[in-house]
Amino acid sequence: MSLKDAWNPHGSTPPLPDGPPYLCADLLEWAGVAFELPAGDPRLPALHRGEPSPSPPLDNLQGAAKYWNEHPDLMAFLAPDSPIHHDKIVERAMYLQLWGPHLERARRVLDLGGGIGRFTTWLLDRGCAVELVDPDLRSLWRAINFSAGRPGALDVHWATGERLPALASVDTAVLCEVLNYVEDPAVVLEQVAGVLEPGGSLLVSVESRWGWAMAADVPIGSIEGWFSGIVHVPGDVWVRTYTEERLRELLSTHFEVLEIRPSHYAFSGPFEMASNVSELSVEDALALEARLREHPMSAPLNRAWMAVARRR
């Protein structure tokens, strides 16, 4: 499940430097390679081919296969010419307001569900060694593309959060928008606790129980998710939403919760169209987020929760 196990089915397999993890400066030949990789979860290859999912939470992977085919420019949002590149940079800046001090100290990081590498690339640029785990193989291809040539070192793993590969211990774990989409969040956190060294930082974000329903991108016909806490569009999207209390309870099993902070995701939350954040600078967008968080009427309508915890 490591890059050492990967091969190129369409040509010669590029050589690997010493590792894992592998110096990204030596991964340039891997950029653009649609490699195969052993799957840590046996259900993933069929989902990669676009076949129906055997479990509702895995509908997200079925949807990902479709969107990579139909909207690759949106999926590969780290590319500067992506229509949503600026929005995603603003979003990352919002997370970094809370997580930045912990990530600045990180040296070896687990980026679980890290996708195409929005945090992995930021960490690599600061010289970190990153273990990137994601259940979408197409995202791992792009993560290599965006990471090759940067400082730092990287290894990638095709697996689900419930079935983490065997990893050396890490000092920091990032789970950005992950616990919403997994089958068993308690098992995922138990797996993460097993690789995170005592005292290590856990950085988590999840969809909020209430604010999602008023977002501009809310799935049509998903009103039952308001009442049940599960938003499900079969074959496309499955999302578990959280209250602050439920998130705190979940994290507290293995971690000391240091802070939970609301985020309104101004460009993908209930104030998206009114704020037109795609036209704002990062600084102005962050200032708007602060106002939304402080106002008594907008504060409870946050799109997400951001959390910092410490491994017990």
pLDDT of res. 286: 92
Q: Which residue has the tokens 């097993």?
A: 194
**According to the model, what pLDDT value does residue 16 have?**
96
pLDDT, mean of residues 147-171: 97
User: 127: alpha, beta or left, given left = phi > 0 and alpha = psi -120 to 50?
Assistant: left
**Euclidean distance between CA atoms 38 and 43, whole angstroms:** 11
Q: Are 203 and 99 in contact (CB under 8 A)?
A: yes
Least reliable range by pLDDT among 75-79, 82-86, 218-222: 218-222
**pLDDT on residue 52:** 92
Residue 68: CATH number of its domain: 3.40.50.150
Give pTM, 2 decimals. 0.96
Residue 268: band (very low, low, confident or very high) from pLDDT cuts 50, 70, 90: confident
Range of the domain at 13: 3-311
Domain total of the chain: 1
Beta-strand relationship, 237-240 and 22-23: unpaired
